[in-house]
């Protein structure tokens, strides 16, 4: 069975995100892993209300910021995927990992 490791990255710092994901892709290609991505999604603008007191009422202008997202998939290469997932990413990047198990076509379980 083949494993597909899906990596999702989110950050408010577009430059650090782009640099980190590109560096990761270069590393994966150098090690011979099959990699799809990075895929970018449109930036999401998050608006946070700011109140003048601890209760709702008088407000300041909301604080808004953009969140940038990228995703990648590593097919097979379980040892390389494990190494990638275990590395330290910059604090400004949120990383989510999902592992799917794929069965070969025509494979039967008895």
pLDDT in tens, 2-49: 889 999 999 999 999 999 999 999 999 999 999 999 999 999 999 998
The tally of domains found in the chain comes to 1
Structural domain includes residue 25:
yes
pLDDT in tens, 64-89: 999 999 999 999 888 888 898 889 99
Structural domain includes residue 54:
no
34 vs 94: CA distance, rounded Å: 23
Question: What are the residues facing 47 on neighbouring strands?
Answer: 64
Contact 98, 2 (CB under 8 A): no
Sheet holding 93-102, edge to edge: 34-51, 59-75, 2-11, 93-102
70 vs 10: CA distance, rounded Å: 7
Q: Any idea what the CATH number is for the domain that residue 96 is in?
A: 3.30.70.600
88 vs 23: CA distance, rounded Å: 13
Structural domain includes residue 30:
yes
Q: Which region holds residue 76: left if phi is over 0, alpha if psi is between -120 and 50, else beta?
A: left
Structural domain includes residue 24:
yes
Q: Higher-confidence residue: 65 or 52?
A: 65
Q: What per-residue confidence (pLDDT) applies to 94?
A: 96
Domain that holds residue 77: 2-40+69-102
Structural domain includes residue 58:
no
Helix (H, G, I), strand (E, B) or coil at 102: strand
91 vs 88: CA distance, rounded Å: 9
Structural domain includes residue 82:
yes
Structural domain includes residue 16:
yes
Contact 8, 56 (CB under 8 A): no
């Amino acid at each position: 069975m083949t494993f597909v490791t899906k990596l999702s990255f989110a950050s408010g710092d577009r430059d650090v995100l782009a640099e980190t994901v590109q560096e990761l892709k270069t590393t994966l290609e150098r090690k011979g892993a099959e990699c799809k991505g990075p895929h970018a999604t449109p930036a999401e603008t998050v608006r946070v209300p700011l109140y003048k007191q601890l209760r709702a009422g008088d407000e300041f202008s909301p604080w808004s910021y953009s969140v940038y997202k990228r995703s990648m998939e590593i097919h097979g290469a379980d040892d390389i995927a494990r190494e990638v997932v275990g590395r330290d990413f910059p604090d400004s990047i949120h990383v989510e990992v999902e592992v799917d198990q794929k069965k070969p076509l025509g494979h039967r379980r008895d």
